[in-house]
Chain A
Amino acid sequence: MPRALIVPFCLALSCLHPAQAGAHPHEFIDTRITFRMDDGGRLEAIGVVWVWDDLTSMLIVEDLGMDGDGNGELTGEEKQRLAAQFSQWPEDYGGDLYLTWDGKPVELTGPMDMKADYLKGRLVLTYLRALPSRIDLDRAPVTLQVYDPGYYAFYDLAGMPEVRGRDGCRVSIHKADIGAARKLYDRLLGQLTEEEIMEQGKYPEVGGAFADRVVLECAARP
Chain B
Amino acid sequence: MRRTALIVAVALALALAGAFALGLQDWLSQNAIAFQRGAQNALAGALRALRAGQPGAVTGFLGLCFAHGFLHALGPGHGKAVIAAYAAASSSSLRRLIGLAALSSLAQAAVAVVLVHAGVWLLDGARDRVEGLAGMVEPLSFAMIAALGLMLARRGAGRLAGSRAVPHIGHDHAHGPDCGCGHGHVPDPAALAKTKDRREAAALILGVALRPCTSALFLLILTWRFDLDLLGILGAFVMGLGTMAVTASAGLTAALMRRGVFLALPDGGSLRPVMALFELMLGVSITVLSGATALRLL
Contact = CB atoms under 8 A, between A and B. Distances in A.
A1 B126 CA distance: 51
A220 interface: no
Chain A binding surface SS class: helix
Contacts of B76: 13, 16-17, 20
Nearest to B44: A54
Given A24-B32, A28-B37, A197-B296, A13 B81 contact: yes
Contacts of B88: 3, 6-7
B85 A7 contact: yes
A7 B86 CA distance: 9
Highest count of chain B CB atoms <10 Å: which of A7, A14, A63: A14
B134 to A, nearest CB: 11
B221 A11 contact: no
Contacts of A4: 278, 281
Contact of B33 (A8, A56, A154): A154
A182 interface: yes
Nearest to A178: B30
Highest count of chain B CB atoms <10 Å: which of A59, A72, A179: A59
A62 B51 CA distance: 13
Interface residues of A, number: 43
Interface in B1-52: 10-11, 14-15, 17-18, 25, 29-30, 32-33, 36-37, 40-41, 43-45, 47-48, 51-52
Contact of A55 (B17, B43, B138, B142): B43
Contacts of A70: 51-52, 226
Given A5-B18, A182-B29, A15 B44 contact: no
A68 B247 CA distance: 39
Contacts of B274: 1
A198 B298 CA distance: 7
B289 A12 contact: yes
Interface in A1-50: 1-18, 20-21, 24-26, 28
A18 B138 contact: yes
A179 B30 contact: yes
A69 to B, nearest CB: 10
B161 interface: no
Contact of A54 (B40, B225, B295): B40
B87 to A, nearest CB: 9
5 contacts: A1-B274, A17-B77, A25-B36, A178-B30, A198-B298
Cβ-closest 4 pairs across A and B:
A54-B44, A14-B81, A17-B77, A10-B81
